[in-house]
Structure 1
Amino acid sequence: MVVLLDTEVPVLLARIGNYPLHHGSLGVVRTVGRLGVPVHAVVEDRFTPVALSRHLTSRFVWPTTGCEEPEQLADGLLSMGRAIGARCVAVPTDDEAAILLAEYAHRLKECFLIPPVPAHLPRLLACKASLHRICAEAGVPSPSSRAPESRDELVDAGRELGYPLVLKNLAPFSRLRTPAVSGTTTVVPTERALLDRFPTGRPPPVLVQEYIPRQQAEDWITHMYCGTGGVPRALFTGLKLRSWPPYAGMTARAVGLRNPELARLAERLCRRTGYSGLADLDWRYDRRDGQYKLVDFNPRVGAQFRLFESVHGVDVVRAMHLDLTGRAVPDGAQAEGRVFVAGQLDFASAVAWLRHERRLPSDLLHVRATERAWLSWDDPLPAAAEALRFTGLVTWRLLRPERPAPAGCR
């Protein structure tokens, strides 16, 4: 069965923030561009890898930080939509863009097709503290968490949850404006290390979460697109084999595996909340109590979404385009055994695995990639640009003098 998208309805890749080496953005351009849909993208500069894709129709150079006023960001998207000249399906690749599309849908619908999600919901689901409350109300397990508002509460949270513990930036926008930790997740071994991170005053917005030992855990992912009322139109599950940074960062290698229990939990959460749109959910299976615990809910397309397809070739972005243009999303089982590999991140994660485990990961030699994040013979320039920029970034970080962590927006 060949999936036919409405080629009269273009796509706009909506992005807020500075992350030029994002393979998920390239995946969006390729998955709909190959089917003849015009694709337009927000890019940081003319030479970001996604800007060089042969499947991209046009690019809008619009460097943002997430510190801008929301009205200003909405105005920017509207100006792009008017320049394109046709209503687009807007595909967010970060939480901030997803929140902006939902909260300003009343204005942005002039130019964009947007899922009918309750305006407040993406922000609540993306915030770690409110997600924990929503999970408890929906009967979906999640790790024990606290959102301290003072240094004393921070100390109390650490003592209550025990060490080591996990620190995360609490919410979208605040992670860009006043970051509590760099990256996505930081493991803190002791109370002294915790206090050294926040030596004085009130801590920035941060989530303190229980640590599930990696020896007792598996990392799973769910990617989905939900229609009106939280009804899944496409839902896929997979196992994360390795990540970068190790055990806590972006997916470096993963395999698509059907997991009915995980699918039921994800569907329950979306139906209970009425969530509509793209979603990327991270789970940890805790062998100590046999529960899948929801760690993150990202209300946007995930970077590794191309890991997943149905037997009819439908991924979550294609499902969204079909649904928002009034076309049926064909029912079909998940294509099992697909393997996603994220270029240099996979190599770095394998080296880290060798250092920690004293052996090469078994999948490195015996599991062949089905989908590569960057390399594609029909679209080679993005991979070449990514390799150059990645090498330059690593070299710059190795050679630059030590500097204090960024303080966010002022």
Structure 2
Amino acid sequence: MPDEPSLDPAVPALLAKVGRYPQHHGGLGVVRTLGRARVTVHAVVEDRLTPVALSRHLSRAFVRPTTGLEDPDALLAAFLAIGRSIGTPCVPVPTDDEAAILIAEHADALAEHFLLPPVPAGLPRLLAGKASLHDLCEDLGVGSPRSRAPADRDELVDAGRELGFPVVLKNRDAWTRLRTPAVGSTTAIRDERGLLDRFPPGALPPVLVQEYIPREGAEDWIAHLYCGAGGAPLAVFTGLKLRSWPPHAGVTTRAVALGNPVLAELAADLCRRIGYCGVADLDWRYDGRDGRYKLVDFNPRAGAQFRLFENTDGVDVVRALHLDLTGRDVPRRPQVDGRVFVAGHLDLPSVAAWLREEHRLPPGLLPVGGTERAWLSGEDPLPAAAETVRFLGTVTRRLGRDVRARTAGVREAARGKAALVRA
């Protein structure tokens, strides 16, 4: 086990977020990794009983429930009020694209209370946008799945025909994914009928249609970075995604840290060329058809599974951020390979889906270099207990909805039969 890196305990940190996602293990990872390094950590939370709010490593919870529908000026005012309440300049760590964009675009106003990476103001919004990211990749010659951003239903159909079914649908932009979502999450559509059924006539919400890279011969890779001023990569990690939920499209439920020099250089070179500064979470898909890594997503903030990665000095990307912004050196050491990240309860349905589809045991069940669990921690047990309660509540509500829907269907069918009999 590496020694804890020497972070500056005089500079606090703030877990910064916009939107409602109380069961987010990435935010808990931020609180734990900085708290264990003796940094005072504050957090924006939805309520006092969110898992993060119950962590022993959290100094203060600011209950500021948001939806992302608020006026940006109101969100900015809330962050400024939190900064004044903390009373000393601190390091904000965003865990969603909207918070990262808000902070970057209002850096001048926030600089009085927060230590911020000097990222170009408009860059996080460009990178978080699926269509604008694709355009950037094409301009720079970076591999990217073929994509279209239709303006109306006719263009939607044309995009499906051009790219070939199945296609993948994504919410096109940050903010609009909360305000006018096109899909709940990344969604595969098998045919044109399914595409039309999903979007009835009328205004088309902001959506990206992306080619589906066949699973045969493909691999899903992750690159997490911290880049200093000018886009200089100070910490670069790569890993292989083993499973996700929903399958093949959702959040990572199990992954393994695995050094990939080719991918690491691709990710680092991209950040250098665009001058990206800060923490980044990049999703890549290796396409066996042409042997290229293709950038699927660029998240300009801490990723949910960032704790998968450490270097041999115990530095992850969030610790690298704090070290750099407080004027300390970021140790340039090799990453620890073989670490496995498991996202708690979400990995159970992903295992079941794998068994159902593949008829064999999934990879990564036996960790090689130790397991980083998203929730379970012997020295910080309350967040896992709170997550279990919330998870069971979510499952119960969904089962209840399914039962009610089926019951309503049975009753409707019975009424239809009765009407036929009477006729």
Pairing 1:255–2:256 present: yes
- Report the secondary structure of 1:236's partner residue: strand
Superposed CA RMSD in Å reads: 1.2
Q: CA deviation at 1:87?
A: 0.6
Q: What is the distance in 1 between the residues matched to 2:317 and 2:255?
A: 17
Q: What is the distance in 2 between the residues matched to 1:368 and 1:6?
A: 29
1:57 corresponding residue in structure 2: 59
2:210 corresponding residue in structure 1: 209
Q: CA deviation at 1:363?
A: 2.4
Q: Deviations over 1:69-124 (max 9, x none)?
A: 11110100010111011111000000000000000001011111111000000000
> Quick check: 2:19–2:66 contact (8 Å CA) kept in 1?
yes
> Quick check: 1:138–1:268 contact (8 Å CA) kept in 2?
no
Pairing 1:175–2:174 present: no
Q: CA deviation at 1:2?
A: 4.3
1:311 corresponding residue in structure 2: 312
Within-5 A mapping of 1:130-141: 130-141=132-143
Gaps of 5+ in 1: 404-410
Q: CA deviation at 1:362?
A: 3.7
Q: CA deviation at 1:224?
A: 0.6
1:151 corresponding residue in structure 2: 153
2:221 corresponding residue in structure 1: 220
2:113 corresponding residue in structure 1: 111
2:50 corresponds to which of 43, 48, 71: 48
Gaps of 5+ in 2: 407-423
Q: Deviations over 1:189-240 (max 9, x none)?
A: 0001000011102310000000011123110000011111111111100000
> Quick check: 1:221–1:283 contact (8 Å CA) kept in 2?
yes
Q: Deviations over 1:307-345 (max 9, x none)?
A: 000011000000000000001111101111111111111
Q: What is the distance in 1 between the residues matched to 2:90 and 2:139?
A: 35
Q: What is the distance in 2 between the residues matched to 1:365 and 1:326?
A: 40
Within-5 A mapping of 1:20-39: 20-39=22-41
Q: Deviations over 1:247-287 (max 9, x none)?
A: 11101000001111111111121111111011000010011
> Quick check: 1:341–1:369 contact (8 Å CA) kept in 2?
no
Pairing 1:14–2:9 present: no
Q: Deviations over 1:9-40 (max 9, x none)?
A: 00000010010110000000000101111000
- Report the secondary structure of 2:365's partner residue: helix
Q: CA deviation at 1:59?
A: 0.2
2:417 corresponding residue in structure 1: none
Q: What is the distance in 2 between the residues matched to 1:172 and 1:283?
A: 19
Instruction: Please give the TM-score of this superposition, normalised by the length of structure 1.
Output: 0.96
Amino acid at match of 1:376: S
- Report the secondary structure of 2:294's partner residue: strand
> Quick check: 1:164–1:188 contact (8 Å CA) kept in 2?
yes
Pairing 1:85–2:68 present: no
> Quick check: 2:33–2:319 contact (8 Å CA) kept in 1?
yes
Distance 1:368 1:234, change over 3 A: closer
Q: CA deviation at 1:136?
A: 1.4
Q: Deviations over 1:328-378 (max 9, x none)?
A: 111101111111111111111101101111122142246575210000000
> Identity over the aligned pairs, expressed in percent?
69
Within-5 A mapping of 1:120-135: 120-135=122-137
Q: What is the distance in 2 between the residues matched to 1:245 and 1:32?
A: 30
Pairing 1:320–2:327 present: no
1:382 corresponding residue in structure 2: 383
